[in-house]
Amino acid sequence: MIDINFASLRLIGLTHTITNELVTFADAAPDARLMRVAEVHRDAIVLHDGAQTCQARQRSRLLQSLDAQQTSLAVGDWVLVDCVAVGTHWIGARIPPQTQLARRSADGSRQPLASNVDTALLVMGLDRDFNPRRLERYIALAHAALVDAVVVLTKADIGIAVDERMAQLRQRLPASVPLMALNALDAQQTRSMLAPWLDAGQTLVLLGSSGAGKSTLTNTLCASAQPTGGVRKGDGRGRHTTTARSLHQFAGGACIIDTPGLRSWRLDAEEDALTAAFDDIDALARNCQFRDCHHQAEPGCAVRDAVDADRLFNYHKLLREVRRSQQTPLDRIAERAKWKVLLKTVGPRSRSKRA
């Protein structure tokens, strides 16, 4: 029988939905324990049981199973652990995650960021870190994983043109995405504004660039001691002080996953998920004169003049990216062949015009 201390595991996000999944693991070892992944390192996995942490290793059958699914363990995963020797913990199985945030690397492989997340706090500084396009990319990432997104603008006490930037985002972003500005060093203000998402059993993940204030926010909420650093004077970018994802407990019963800043990454999303993140464009597009309107130069377009031009540009950019990621190798070969034919016809035409 699987050992479950619900009262203790509740403090690190255990829900009844997760426990219901355990009925499919009838063949688990008699002394198997349910634990949660708190950190993932190259040579070890750090697990949490609600009271303390321990290091563990993965059994070969689990590695083979995850490799077949083209995935790996991520912070936030729930796992079954066998204690087969003194001081040695072995992970025998992973409970299928209810939600999982992931990105695509340059080679197209899928890299999980965090599992079993309820809310993504999208952190952006009100200094030179301010970048609405990047924020829209994060919102699309959360929507693709069916995770609620909350925009948290930090450094409100030292930010640049705070009121103007808040007004810009309220006009640009979907009304369904909560938006707030705060000073992450002010514990009372931070906990008060984020209280609706800090209930017992909730799991939050912090996403944002380096230097945005994610670790400062974690330290303020969880009274932890995550290392923090300043930003570069030249461009205001962070120095990647946080180097690994980690799970932290909040005194009220929620838990928070802190993450390093994402450098360059591609969305792990389908076209429908991206459309949901830009639902204002999708709603307006129904009134366009043509069904296949690209919202560029077509007559009767209901989107082009009603949506922020930069937001529309970013939508097209992300849409191209998503479509490329869904292409098969044969699709890419066919597309290259098509462009080769078009380019060959351009040369003679341009020469004849010049003649």
Q: List, for residues 27-61, the tens digit of each pLDDT value.
A: 777 778 899 999 998 888 999 988 888 999 999 99
Q: What is the pLDDT of residue 250?
A: 87
pLDDT at residue 228 greater than cutoff 80: no
Read off the pTM: 0.83
Q: 33 to each of 74, 81, 90, 226, 303, how far by Cα in Å? A: 18, 5, 10, 28, 54
Confidence tier at 82 by pLDDT (50, 70, 90): confident
Element (H, E) at 9: helix 6-9
As a whole-number percent, the residues of the chain with pLDDT over 90 amount to 37
On whether the CB atoms of residues 16 and 45 are closer than 8 A, the answer is no
pLDDT at residue 83 greater than cutoff 70: yes
Q: What is the pLDDT of residue 97?
A: 94
Q: What is the pLDDT of residue 119?
A: 95
pLDDT (average), residues 237-254: 74
User: Can you tell me the distance from the alpha carbon of 127 to that of 114, in angstroms, rounded to the nearest whole number?
Assistant: 27
Looking at every residue in the chain, the average pLDDT score rounds to 85
Q: List, for residues 264-308, the tens digit of each pLDDT value.
A: 677 877 888 888 888 888 889 999 988 888 888 888 999 988 888
Confidence tier at 98 by pLDDT (50, 70, 90): very high
Q: What is the pLDDT of residue 294?
A: 87
Q: What is the pLDDT of residue 353?
A: 66
On whether the CB atoms of residues 123 and 58 are closer than 8 A, the answer is no
pLDDT (average), residues 185-209: 92
More confident residue, 184 or 350: 184
pLDDT at residue 103 greater than cutoff 60: yes
Confidence tier at 243 by pLDDT (50, 70, 90): low
Fold (CATH) for 6-94: OB fold (Dihydrolipoamide Acetyltransferase, E2P) (2.40.50)
Q: What is the pLDDT of residue 65?
A: 92
Element (H, E) at 68: helix 60-68
Q: Who's near 156: CB < 8 A, 6+ residues apart? A: 126, 162, 181, 182, 183
Q: What is the pLDDT of residue 196?
A: 93
More confident residue, 349 or 187: 187
On whether the CB atoms of residues 185 and 192 are closer than 8 A, the answer is no
pLDDT at residue 318 greater than cutoff 80: yes
Q: Where are the domains of the chain?
A: 6-94, 100-258
Q: What is the pLDDT of residue 64?
A: 94
User: Can you tell me the distance from the alpha carbon of 61 to that of 191, in angstroms, rounded to the nearest whole number?
Assistant: 42
Confidence tier at 86 by pLDDT (50, 70, 90): low
Query: Strand 203-207 to strand 255-258: parallel, antiparallel, or no bridges (unpaired)?
Result: parallel
More confident residue, 93 or 25: 93
What CATH superfamily classification does 100-258 receive?
A: P-loop containing nucleotide triphosphate hydrolases (3.40.50.300)
* Amino acid, res. 260: P
On whether the CB atoms of residues 117 and 258 are closer than 8 A, the answer is no
Which of 167-181, 258-272, 337-351 shows the highest mean pLDDT?
167-181
What residues are paired with 119 via a beta bridge? Answer: 148, 204
Q: Burial-class residue 141 by CB neighbours within 10 Å (0-12, 13-18, 19+).
A: buried
Domains 6-94 and 100-258 belong to one CATH topology: no
CA-atom Rg of the chain in angstroms: 23
Tokens coding 205: 């993940």
Q: List, for residues 132-177, the tens digit of each pLDDT value.
A: 999 999 999 999 899 999 999 999 998 889 999 999 999 999 888 9
Q: What is the pLDDT of residue 39?
A: 93
